[in-house]
Chain A
Amino acid sequence: MSADFDTPHWDTDVLVIGGGLAGTWAAIAAAREGARVILADKGYCGTSGVTATAGPGHWWVAPEHREAAVADRQKRSLGLGDPDWMARILDLTWTSLPQLARHYAFSTDEQGRVQYRGLRGPEYMRAMRAFALEAGATILDHHPALELLTDADGVVTGAAGVALRGERPWTIRAGAVVLATGGCAFASRLLGAATNTGDGLLMGAEAGADLSGMEFTNYYTPMQAGTNMARSMSFAFARWFDEADDELDIPAGPDVSPHLARALLKGRLYCRLDRIPQDIREVMPQVQPNFVRPFARMGVDAYAERFEVTLVSEGTVRGIGGLRVTDTLCQTAAPGLFAAGDAASRELVTGAISGGGAVNSSWALSSGQWAGQGAAAFARGRAAKAGERLRHIGQAGLRPTSRSAGVDLLAAVQVVRHEMGAYDRNIFRTGAGLEASGERLDDAWREIAAHAGGWGRGLLRAREAAALVAAARWSKASALQRRESRGMHRREDASGLDPRLASRQRSHGLDRVVTRFEAISLENASLEAVA
């Protein structure tokens, strides 16, 4: 990606990388601050990312109930949450969603009350695209970013990537950059997450940002085997059966997945949705139009027949980890670089348990707006240095350290899919298993860093493989060091909470991965001592 006179080049105040829920809100917020904004999406802003295929509720709580909601959430965060951040996203969610009314046709209930809490994904993201364009953002679709640019002082000053149409490189100089690249699904084939390969985590780490909460990467969702339809609502009514059609004693609730995983380690698993009441069956196609498609097309009567199910790993999408934000406007440890949505660690608002769709969506729309405001302010404060030479800082997958040679990228991706997906490796964790996974991932990393590169789409694939492997390595290293079970992180060789580990864990490093726990707050330590 050396400088090339043919390379399209743009200048802007704020560059937002990623056009999902967080990225579009970041673009809108930055534009409202008067910044010139470019939003570059790997796919298409409006269909990219996990919101577009879903239908998130939000953490939508009336002001008089917020104190109780925060107290409850803080208790369940197992020492890793921050009530101030929880209160902030509740406030901002409440004032933000009604602003979408020009672009999203909110429903009203039987009493005529407008229903703001949940939005259906395709319509939501179509609305967010229109909202971002109305705010004045320029959107570049099918423009994946491959690396960040910095100035001579190491301040992030833009990005470079490839335009998929014509496979031409591009560069954008920006006063500040927002990474809203989504979570990392570790190539699990999770619905909507094909492009969520952790690119932003790798780009951020190369610029000097660190991560937090990367051990919390093992939230799994059931779906019809062979498909990707991980919509959880109907499964809340499910009954579960083994191959002999004996019903399994698995209580309904939010923690059903480890039970299902144990059953799947023994054999095939089946589901019946025959408890779903008739009135819900009738309305289902208009509640979740995508959920009913596999059944309709494959000729399965989902409400009468049993069907086979498996679990899909949601990685950091409904897990937690990501780039650590260091201030209230979501700046990372790298100056000029901001993070939002699933690309940023959500521990502040979820702690050690999943935020599900609701807290996660509220985090995305809130952190997006803060990152956009922060980036706009940062860009305003920078003196323009015209003609300054920018550094291209991307490494693994872009600039091999030794001779460029053929690397089996699909095999590297398969290593990630297996080490981060297999139930006995990622749900039920052990120190020995995590070490073995880490070694396999280290091998994949060395191979990619030494030899992977390419051109056009090939370069994007090499870079995605590097990002997937990097994110998996941070996750395994963090899980290894957290020698306890806390929230979704479950160590078979260390059950229960260890009060000495009631703090967030940071990770960083590329060739060598380093993790460390933050200082424990006395409050958390004493809470656990009495628990």
Chain B
Amino acid sequence: MIEVVIDDRCGGCGACVDVCPSDVLARGPGGKAVIARQADCQTCYLCELYCPEDALFVWPETDRVAGVTAQQALATGDVGGFRRDSGWDEHAATHTNQHWRMGAIFERARLMAIDAADTARTEDGRTS
């Protein structure tokens, strides 16, 4: 669930307010983002992706408000981590999109499972 807008980072661009698919955020006094309907948050992290200032922090738990403060968020070391790993904006050169490897990774898992099953069968044969 979205837990905190780090006020001194928010530049008031309004991007997160526009892109939130559940309309959780609103513009507060001075134009900065505020969490208006926290219970509607679906924990999709997409607001973070669209925030150029890394001013938003989503906590992974979906069912409760954890009460994370700005300091606690920063202490995780992962504020802005989603945007960085996604290679958006200034991270484009250092964090390229490797999503296309997904098919090969699934294939590795499939072959490992076949291997494991073969090994198990061989071991069964020895013990019986």
**CA–CA, A193 to B60, complex, Å?**
16
For residue B98, CB closer than 8 A to chain A, the reply is yes
Task: Please tell me if the beta carbons of B97 and A57 are within 8 angstroms of each other in the complex.
Answer: no
Let me know if A521 is at the binding interface, CB within 8 A.
no
For residue B4, give the distance in angstroms from its CB to the closest CB of chain A.
12
Name the A residues within 8 Å of B55 (CB-CB): none
Cβ-defined contact, B110 with A236, below 8 A: yes
Chain A interface main SS type: loop
Cross-chain contact A43 with B100 (CB below 8 angstroms): no
Closest B residue to A116 by beta carbon equals: B100
**What is the CA–CA distance of A193 and B78 in the complex, to the nearest angstrom?**
24
Q: A47-B20, A122-B49, A253-B113 are in contact. Are A194 and B102 (CB under 8 A)?
A: no
CB distance from A240 to the nearest CB of B (A): 13
B78 engages A293 (CB within 8 Å): yes
- Is B113 a contact partner of A44 (Cβ separation < 8 A)? no
Measured between C-beta atoms, what is the minimum distance from B94 to chain A in Å?
10
Are A286's CB and B97's CB within 8 A? yes
Residue A283 is within 8 A (CB to CB) of chain B in the complex = yes
- A44:B20 contact, CB within 8 angstroms: yes
With the chains together, A43 CA to B22 CA distance in Å? Answer: 6
A414 at interface by CB-CB < 8 Å: no
Q: A226, B97: Cβ atoms under 8 Å?
A: no
| Per-position binary interface string of chain A over residues 255-297, scored 1 when its CB falls under 8 Å from any chain B CB and 0 otherwise | 0000000000000000000010100100101111110111011
In the bound complex, residues from chain A placing their C-beta under 8 Å from that of B102 are: 55, 57, 118, 233, 287-288
Contact A107 B98 (CB under 8 A): yes
- Check A228 against B42 for contact (C-beta < 8 Å): yes
The reply to whether A44 and B78 form a contact with Cβ atoms under 8 Å apart is no
Given contacts A43-B22, A118-B99, contact A297 B85 (CB under 8 A): no
Among A106, A122, A224, the most chain B Cβ lie within 10 Å of the Cβ of A122
The smallest beta-carbon distance between A255 and chain B, in angstroms, is: 12
Task: Indicate with 1 or 0, residue by residue over A103-129, a CB within 8 angstroms of chain B CB atoms.
Answer: 001110100000101111011000000
CA A289 to CA B86, docked complex, whole Å: 6
Identify which of residues 47-68 in chain B touch chain A, using a CB-to-CB cut-off of 8 Å: 49-50, 58-63
Contact, CB under 8 Å: A286 / B96:
yes
Contact with A along B95-128 (1 / 0, CB 8 A): 1111111110110111011001100000000000
> Interface 1/0s, chain B 27-48, versus A by CB < 8 A?
0000000000000101111100
Known: A289-B85, A296-B77. 16 other contacts (CB 8 A): A53-B45, A57-B102, A57-B103, A107-B97, A117-B103, A118-B100, A122-B86, A195-B21, A226-B61, A233-B102, A252-B110, A286-B87, A287-B98, A290-B45, A293-B58, A298-B60
19 contacts between A and B (CB under 8 A): A43-B21, A47-B21, A48-B21, A49-B21, A52-B44, A57-B103, A117-B103, A118-B100, A118-B103, A195-B42, A226-B60, A251-B117, A252-B113, A285-B85, A286-B87, A287-B105, A290-B82, A293-B81, A297-B78
